[in-house]
Structure 1
Amino acid sequence: MRPIALGYLRSDLSGAAQNWDEIRIRSLAKRYGYNLAKTIVFTDRTADPLTTLIAIVRRIGAEAIFVPHRRHLGAELPPVLVGTCDVITVDDESTYARAYLADRSRPVYHSDQEGLIRRSRSERSTTRYVDASAGSARPERPPR
């Protein structure tokens, strides 16, 4: 059984390219081996979109969210969302992945200030730790 994913975009940001963004989301989800359950479309007038999106992710048990670009999630990549599921951007095929403790009971972020693990297409075999606010990266440390 393939893992479940959601697509997410903001129609005000996609504009006339909304259909194309949805096609790209479906295509990448399929290529990555996910079962894309639905694409959620919000506007800039949607009240509390992040809370609503996280509730939907939890309700259907989605493992990942595919977005056309990071800006669809706001100015900053929300750590609470990345703690809930992986976030995959279609434009540069970056994955902002959850990391778990050895007992996998809760997510952990490897950085001084809630950094996120990011894997880009050109770095598939190397995970890099990225401070989401500063964009600095350092090579992966071996697990303990």
Structure 2
Amino acid sequence: MNFRLLKKHGKVYIQFEKQQEKLAKILWARPLTGRWKEISIVDEKKKEIIFLDSLNSIPTESRQIAKDELIRNYFLPKIIKVFETKSHRSCRYWHVETEKGPRKFLMKNPNRDFLCISQDNIILRDHIGNCYEIVSFRKLDRSSKNAINKII
């Protein structure tokens, strides 16, 4: 299927051969476990227009638009240090240092919001849906590891 992506006035459009362009949004089909793999392009009503196996399925001249949109829509700060964690009832309180600065957040459901992508890579989701990534648990300092182990 031949198509191209266009960016106009901060919005993304998709255009198939000899058809009018449509407003579109670019999404990861599996935002936490399948980043950069499967991509869904949806219309303004979130109805899927096209499903793609990878970014490489997007025409070369449109690929950068897709990459930029995915990065913008799925901001995922990386945790580089854990200062403190607390547990109260089923809630977990985190105070961390990310690559974008210090953050404090609340995790209400650790069974759902603590996702191990691999044995070493972890995604945390706070109570309002923001996600944070621990790229490598093994590479964290001892005090960060201890703080995490204390509440999981």
Kindly indicate which of the two structures has a greater share of residues assigned to helix. Answer: 1
Higher Rg = 2
Select the structure with the greater relative contact order (CA < 8 A; seq sep ≥ 6).
1
Instruction: Name the TM-score, length of structure 1 as normaliser.
Output: 0.23
